[in-house]
């Protein structure tokens, strides 16, 4: 049964990854309502199947068509496509599959090593520490704000604000509903996510009508060549994977940045950087190892503190809530089994993807020739129906439309959606931990600064804030001076 759910997820993940414009987040968001009523473990295997397969799925059109299936595969095009044109398509695909698969396994191995340590720390956590960790996570919105920090902070603040609508279990009062009964339960998370991620992408895709690419490069070469190349570049692979893991741990940053940073570092440290971008296999390794290993890193804040490490993790947290799995520190304390199911599922998904992905890559690449005009209304209908079935409330479908329009406006105006989502997810636990802390201390704010872990986290938060703003300002000023 487990394999069935995993394979189903892998199949969906590969298809969504390969279709340019769609991503793993879209697949996860739409898939969540279908898992309602499933055993939590089966649902987790299904989700890990999607997450494990989507990255490789995205690399197939990047290599064969010079069109990345998803943004985190963008750097794969630079060297993957020239390799394919040179007649080394199979070698590039094997490199992508093996770097992706092994990178993810390395990322998860790091997670497994960290789990006991995290558990030990979390056992010492009380509400003040949790409050400080969440504050730290919210501040990481700054990191997630590619583009403009202010827009990231405003989006994050708005996310917190909207999360406060409805019944506050902490105080037992209903806030900001303006007479609406529907809002008593707050804005529902999963329909909002479906709107923000799936519908937004579908709206954006509709602006690029028709099929993306019509012709596919022939898949030639030997599988062994790719594996040998990876073995010859093991140091690059390990370095790139660790860049991915590190980037993954920072909440909200995600695979796109991991992909580019790893590529840039790889090129800068290479003995022959002039060959990068012209079909150097090292470019594929650097890019693919990082964008898959980031999942292991992103799971660290997700499972330990309930702070989403990436957009996929934000949706995954929504899925956990649906299945009654406690998120935040309680997850690692009381649902360690689910954490290990996640790890095992992701390892298996990556291995399965690597094995079958290479053999079906030609078919996956052909998906890009499907006219998206057929996909858009079909997926919209499924997304609407899926959102409705969660609570059989038609207004939830309205929230999907609202989320879609909001997400699209955010994208067009360069407001980071992920910052908004992080704020929305963390708003309620942020307020709860703050008030629980004050209840413990009898109303004294000193509780946040007199407990060692809490104080340490506060210092770390201030340092991150200083680091986040000052060097970038300095760099911007430097660049202006150079211009």
Partner 1 sequence: MSIYRRGVFWLYMVILLTAGAGIVDAFNYNPRVRLLPLVVGVFIVVLCVYSIIGEKYPAIMDRFNVSVTDVAGADSGDESKVSTEADGEISRGRTWATGAWLVGFFGAIVLLGFLLAVPLFVFAFIKWYGRIGWLSSLLAAMIVEGIIYASFDIAMKAVLFEGLLFGGKLPPL
Q: Of 413-472, which residues contact partner 1 (CB under 8 A)? A: 413-415, 430-431, 434-435, 438, 471-472
Dihedral, 21, 22, 23, 25 alpha carbons, nearest 10: 120
Smallest distance, Å, CB 337 to partner 1?
Answer: 26
Q: Which stretch binds partner 1 (CB under 8 A): 1-9, 85-93, 335-343, 402-410?
A: 402-410
Q: Which is nearer to partner 1, 272 or 392 (CB)?
A: 392
Q: Which is nearer to partner 1, 222 or 412 (CB)?
A: 412
Q: Which is nearer to partner 1, 153 or 304 (CB)?
A: 153
Site for partner 1, residues 275 to 334, rule: CB under 8 A = none
Q: Which is nearer to partner 1, 95 or 205 (CB)?
A: 205
Smallest distance, Å, CB 332 to partner 1?
Answer: 26
User: In this chain, which of 94, 134, 194, 257 binds partner 1, going by CB under 8 A?
Assistant: 257
Smallest distance, Å, CB 266 to partner 1?
Answer: 10
Q: Under DSSP, is residue 209 helix (H, G, I), strand (E, B) or coil?
A: coil
Task: Tell the burial category of 480 from Cβ atoms under 10 Å away from its Cβ (0-12, 13-18, 19+).
Answer: exposed
Q: What DSSP letter does each residue of 317-331 carry, written as one string? A: HHHHHHTT---THHH
How many residues sit in the footprint of partner 1 (CB under 8 A)?
94
Rule CB under 8 A: say whether 385 interacts with partner 1: yes
CA–CA distance, 239 with 315 (Å, rounded to integer): 28
CA–CA distance, 272 with 267 (Å, rounded to integer): 8
Q: Which is nearer to partner 1, 120 or 181 (CB)?
A: 181
User: In this chain, which of 9, 49, 68, 107 binds partner 1, going by CB under 8 A?
Assistant: 68
Q: Which stretch binds partner 1 (CB under 8 A): 228-236, 279-287, 317-325, 384-392?
A: 384-392
Q: Which stretch binds partner 1 (CB under 8 A): 83-91, 98-106, 215-223, 264-272?
A: 264-272
CA-wise closest residue to 15 among 53, 62, 47: 53
Q: Which stretch binds partner 1 (CB under 8 A): 178-186, 218-226, 232-240, 348-356?
A: 178-186
Q: Under DSSP, is residue 188 helix (H, G, I), strand (E, B) or coil?
A: coil
CA-wise closest residue to 142 among 466, 479, 475: 466
Q: Which is nearer to partner 1, 355 or 409 (CB)?
A: 409
Smallest distance, Å, CB 468 to partner 1?
Answer: 8
The CA distances from residue 3 to 44, 299, 336, 352, 410, in Å, are 12, 22, 21, 10, 38
Smallest distance, Å, CB 154 to partner 1?
Answer: 5
CA–CA distance, 313 with 296 (Å, rounded to integer): 11
Rule CB under 8 A: say whether 394 interacts with partner 1: yes
Structure tokens at 152: 């990231």
Rule CB under 8 A: say whether 377 interacts with partner 1: yes
Rule CB under 8 A: say whether 264 interacts with partner 1: yes
Smallest distance, Å, CB 149 to partner 1?
Answer: 4
Smallest distance, Å, CB 33 to partner 1?
Answer: 9
Left (φ > 0), alpha (ψ -120 to 50) or beta: where does 328 sit?
Answer: left
CA–CA distance, 483 with 479 (Å, rounded to integer): 6
Q: Which stretch binds partner 1 (CB under 8 A): 125-133, 142-150, 334-342, 350-358?
A: 142-150
Tokens 């006219």 appear where? 371
The contact pattern for partner 1, residues 23-42, with x = CB under 8 A and - = no contact, is -----------x-xx-----
CA–CA distance, 203 with 401 (Å, rounded to integer): 11
User: In this chain, which of 21, 191, 279, 306 binds partner 1, going by CB under 8 A?
Assistant: 21
Cβ atoms of 128 and 451 closer than 8 Å: yes
CA–CA distance, 376 with 208 (Å, rounded to integer): 11
Rule CB under 8 A: say whether 395 interacts with partner 1: yes
Rule CB under 8 A: say whether 208 interacts with partner 1: yes
Smallest distance, Å, CB 71 to partner 1?
Answer: 5
Q: Which stretch binds partner 1 (CB under 8 A): 42-50, 145-153, 227-235, 288-296?
A: 145-153
Left (φ > 0), alpha (ψ -120 to 50) or beta: where does 126 sit?
Answer: beta
CA–CA distance, 339 with 305 (Å, rounded to integer): 12
Which H or E run includes 69? none
Q: Under DSSP, is residue 167 helix (H, G, I), strand (E, B) or coil?
A: strand
User: In this chain, which of 87, 116, 147, 456 binds partner 1, going by CB under 8 A?
Assistant: 147
Per-residue DSSP letter, 70: S
CA–CA distance, 245 with 110 (Å, rounded to integer): 8
Q: Which is nearer to partner 1, 1 or 173 (CB)?
A: 173
The contact pattern for partner 1, residues 157-176, with x = CB under 8 A and - = no contact, is xx-xx--x---x--x-x-xx
CA angle 16, 34, 390 (to 5 degrees): 125
Q: Which stretch binds partner 1 (CB under 8 A): 227-235, 281-289, 305-313, 403-411?
A: 403-411
């Amino acid at each position: 049964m487990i394999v069935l759910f995993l394979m189903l997820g892998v199949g969906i993940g590969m298809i969504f990854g390969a279709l340019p414009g769609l991503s793993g987040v879209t697949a996860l968001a739409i898939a969540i309502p279908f898992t309602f009523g499933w055993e939590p473990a089966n649902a987790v295997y299904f989700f890990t199947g999607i997450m494990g397969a989507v990255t490789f799925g995205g690399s197939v059109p990047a290599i064969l068509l010079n069109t990345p299936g998803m943004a985190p595969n963008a750097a794969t095009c630079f060297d993957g496509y020239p390799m394919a044109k040179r007649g080394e398509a199979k070698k590039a695909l094997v490199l992508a599959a093996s770097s992706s698969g092994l990178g993810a396994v390395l990322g998860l191995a790091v997670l497994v090593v960290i789990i006991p340590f995290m558990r030990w720390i979390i056992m010492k956590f009380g509400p003040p520490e949790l409050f400080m960790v969440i504050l730290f996570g919210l501040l990481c919105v700054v990191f997630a704000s590619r583009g403009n920090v202010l827009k990231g902070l405003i989006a994050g603040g708005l996310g917190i604000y909207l999360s406060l609508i409805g019944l506050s279990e902490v105080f037992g009062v209903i806030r900001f509903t303006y007479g609406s009964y529907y809002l008593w339960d707050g804005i529902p998370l999963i329909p909002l996510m479906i709107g923000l991620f799936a519908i937004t992408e579908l709206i954006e895709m509709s602006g690029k009508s028709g099929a993306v690419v019509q012709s596919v490069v022939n898949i030639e070469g030997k599988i062994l060549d790719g594996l040998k190349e990876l073995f010859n570049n093991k140091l690059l692979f390990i370095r790139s994977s660790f860049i991915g893991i590190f980037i993954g741990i920072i909440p909200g940053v995600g695979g796109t940045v991991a992909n580019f940073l790893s590529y840039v570092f790889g090129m800068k440290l290479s003995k022959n950087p002039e060959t990068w971008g012209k079909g150097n296999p090292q470019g594929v390794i650097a890019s693919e190892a990082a964008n898959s290993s980031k999942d292991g890193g992103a799971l660290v804040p997700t499972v330990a503190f309930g702070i989403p490490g990436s957009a996929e993790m934000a949706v995954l947290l929504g899925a956990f809530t649906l299945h009654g799995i406690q998120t935040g520190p309680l997850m690692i304390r009381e649902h360690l089994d689910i954490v290990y199911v996640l790890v095992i599922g992701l390892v298996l998904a990556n291995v399965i993807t690597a094995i079958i992905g290479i053999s079906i890559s030609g078919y996956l690449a052909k998906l890009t020739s499907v006219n998206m005009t057929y996909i858009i209304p079909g997926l919209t209908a499924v997304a609407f129906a899926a959102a409705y079935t969660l609570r059989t409330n038609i207004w939830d479908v309205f929230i999907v439309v609202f989320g879609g329009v909001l997400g699209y406006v955010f994208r067009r105006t360069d407001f980071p959606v992920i910052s908004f989502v992080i704020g929305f997810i963390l708003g309620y636990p942020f307020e709860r931990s703050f008030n629980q802390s004050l209840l413990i201390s009898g109303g004294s704010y000193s509780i946040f600064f007199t407990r060692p872990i809490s104080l340490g986290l506060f210092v770390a938060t201030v340092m991150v804030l200083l680091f986040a703003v000052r060097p970038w300002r300095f760099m911007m000023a430097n660049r202006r001076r150079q211009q």
